[in-house]
Amino acid sequence: MQPKSLQDIPLSVLDLSPVIEGGSIAQSFRDTVSLARHVEKLGYKRFWLAEHHNMPGIASAATSVLVGHVAGQTSSIRVGSGGVMLPNHSPLIIAEHYGTLAELYPDRIDLGLGRAPGTDRATAHAIGRDPNSADEFPQEVQQLIHYLGDPVSGQKVKAVPGMGTKVPVWLLGSSTFSAQLAAYLGLPFAFAAHFAPKLLHEALRLYRANFQPSERWPEPYAMIGVPVIAASTDEEAAFLSTSSQQMILNIVRNQRSMVPPPVETMAGKWSLSEQAEVRQFFGAAIIGGPESVKSQLEEFVAATGADELIIHSQFYRHEDRLRSYEIVKECGGRTLLSSGGIRES
């Protein structure tokens, strides 16, 4: 693996259209568009949105609708899903949705796929998700790619729109399963270290070691999700990060909440075991002022050999979120793929 620095790679954004306490879903959508426009001007490469359900603090459930809205409000940044939970949907329908987006916004749409339900068990049941549907994920991924490709002689079912658009398909994961499937299929891989960093290095090792070159991706390409809370000083960043810590604490307690305002201290808000769980969840988090964030990002890229970072930043105040992405971009990061003959369109 060639050594890389932060300046060698592009930076991207993962947004969940967060809903803050005292706010509204409509405002979260306005903030999402504001953020997308902001990071486009800063030179970020992609803006991805993720499918979640029955979570009051996340408004990106209808992911393809929001992808289209953001793409229509921007002009150059790639927009996509990070991701669509494919077992919740028919591959044909997803091919039609993203094929439609690709026709509306040529060469700007990405389709990231996950195999988790993106919610709790009761909501998965309400969606109509088969508990065994994740077992069909490899076949459904290949079926979806087939629908997005050129039609073949005798093909009875076609995605219209969709066929021939060849929307770039990514596999997402927080374990080693999707890493190995992405390697087998010759697809780019995005690892969710922003909430499950434990298996990051093993997943990357398996992905790179087993990668089978494909026409579009002759070499493995790994993007890593990283939670970043950047502010003017280390102290301010630590204070602002308590909003995320409180949300994660609620998840640990099997509670769902909107994004709360930051607090001066988390002392007294959690038990020792809960604190340990939150810190494990937040294990890859980069928190600090500009110099600290730059140093931590450089170390992370050097340790992982990431081809791209996709930054997830959770804040109570939208202006703090905008500033955080400014600070990260000032730390470095290219806006274009640097090598390898990789084609995304």
CATH number at residue 78: 3.20.20.30
How far apart (Å, rounded) are the C-alpha atoms in residues 297 and 291? 10
For CA atoms 147, 151, 152, 156, the dihedral sign is positive
Residue stretches of the chain with pLDDT short of 50: 336-345
Predicted local distance difference test score (pLDDT) of residue 343: 35
- 31 inside domain: yes
Predicted local distance difference test score (pLDDT) of residue 3: 67
Of 112, 35, 39, the C-alpha closest to 76 is: 39
- 342 inside domain: no
Question: Which residues, listed in sequence order, are joined to residue 311 by a DSSP beta bridge?
Answer: 13, 226
Q: What is the 3-state secondary structure (H, E, C) of the chain?
A: CCCCCHHHCEEEEEECCECECCCCHHHHHHHHHHHHHHHHHHCCCEEEECCCCCCCCECCCCHHHHHHHHHHCCCCCEEEEEEEEHHHCCHHHHHHHHHHHHHHCCCCEEEEEECCCCCCHHHHHHHCCCCCHHHHHHHHHHHHHHHHCCCCCCCCCCCCCCCCCCCCEEEEECCCHHHHHHHHHCCCEEECCCCCHHHHHHHHHHHHHHCCCCCCCCCCCEEEEEEEEECCCHHHHHHHCHHHHHHHHHHHCCCCCCECCCCCCCCCCCCHHHHHHHHHHCCCCEEECHHHHHHHHHHHHHHHCCCEEEEECCCCCHHHHHHHHHHHHHHCCECCCCCCCCCCC
How far apart (Å, rounded) are the C-alpha atoms in residues 343 and 345? 6
How far apart (Å, rounded) are the C-alpha atoms in residues 344 and 288? 33
For CA atoms 28, 85, 242, 320, the dihedral sign is negative
Domain containing 24: what range? 6-331
Name residues whose C-beta falls within 8 Å of residue 128's C-beta, 6 or more positions apart in sequence. none
Amino acid at residue number 33: V
- 243 inside domain: yes
- 340 inside domain: no
- 119 inside domain: yes
Pairing of strands 78-85, 109-114: parallel
- 345 inside domain: no
- 344 inside domain: no
Predicted local distance difference test score (pLDDT) of residue 135: 83
- 24 inside domain: yes
Q: Residue 193 has which token pair?
A: 């270290």
Predicted local distance difference test score (pLDDT) of residue 25: 97
How far apart (Å, rounded) are the C-alpha atoms in residues 289 and 230? 6
* Number of structural domains in the chain: 1
Predicted local distance difference test score (pLDDT) of residue 337: 34
Predicted local distance difference test score (pLDDT) of residue 131: 65
In this structure, are residues 19 and 28 in contact, taking their beta carbons and an 8 Å threshold? yes
Angle 63-72/91-104 helices, nearest 10 degrees? 10
